[in-house]
Structure 1
């Protein structure tokens, strides 16, 4: 499994963004523009590697594997999705999944490993996301269970609460929308 994930990361690095004030931390932007030329990785390999890469957030997302298979991988193939991985000394410490569509510039997933929180990783992910999406106000949604954790970084980046939706991802749960509306994808 690790060989597939490592191959996925090493074969598709598009750019590196280095956060200079924290030694050894860099953001890698994976570029999947040429998935058809992806050998020896198959789309099933990419699916397995992404599910493994995002294993920490899987319990937070209903229909997670379906979302990866039906939205993320096809979006990566046509450059409408991007993945950012932040590494410290070659160890993954956070990641983001972006939706870069003409109708919506969205941070779909933003995750920092617990041991790397409050160390600039989330800030680097948001700054890199803004750069890749070419907007200072990307849409992002956060569940009511995690909103307090995100408030400080959203405030730092000037994110504005624009909507509160009920039952959009999980029945009985509110989803807080920042910087725009959300189409749930």
Structure 2
């Protein structure tokens, strides 16, 4: 990997804040993602159940992956690559690193319907399986594609995993 940074809450404030700002920009797909990041990811970084993998160049984030490793679930929670870095192999490098950390060749991953086509090569290369199509799981009128497992039922919209 060209450059990988593992971000934690104790990282330099600018590094953690830039990751949080990027995550906040995903609200169009996941309306409660800011709350999820503060409540779930920050706590998971502290207890070792979450890892943030960042590829950065000249203070710009080129790629971001957030992974969850718990006894009952291995999941790639977030995977994003800057448009100028797409088709460079960066997503594969980050997924490879996450798979190694998760110790799981087929982690759970969900994709919003708008992004599914962008991930077809990852689905094919890693032989991921579409196991569930979850209508309105995170947003009204939108489908979430679930790979390598199933999402649990949602009691509230703040139940992001």
TM-score normalised by the chain length of structure 2: 0.84
Q: 1:140 aligns with which of 84, 105, 109?
A: 109
Contact 2:24 2:33 in 1 (8 A): no
Q: 2:52 aligns with which of 83, 108, 113?
A: 83
Q: How much does 1:149 deviate? A: 0.7
In the alignment, structure 1 segments of 5+ residues that lack a partner are 1-17, 19-24
Any residues of structure 2 matched to 1:46-125 within 5 Å, and which? 48-88=17-57, 91-125=60-94
Q: Does 1:164 align with 2:133?
A: yes
Q: Does 1:179 align with 2:148?
A: yes
Hey, what's the Cα distance between the residues in 1 that align with 2:126 and 2:12? 40
Ranges of 4+ aligned residues in structure 1 off by more than 6 Å = none
Q: Does 1:26 align with 2:23?
A: no
Which structure ranks higher in relative contact order (CA pairs < 8 Å, sequence separation ≥ 6)? 2
Aligned residue pairs, count:
154
Hey, what's the Cα distance between the residues in 1 that align with 2:93 and 2:86? 12
Pair 1:76–1:57, CA change in 2 (3 A)? same
Aligned-residue RMSD, C-alpha:
2.4
Contact 2:110 2:144 in 1 (8 A): yes
Q: How much does 1:156 deviate? A: 0.8
Q: Secondary structure at the match of 2:95?
A: helix
Q: How much does 1:162 deviate? A: 0.8
Q: How much does 1:169 deviate? A: 0.8
Hey, what's the Cα distance between the residues in 1 that align with 2:70 and 2:11? 27
Q: How much does 1:48 deviate? A: 4.1
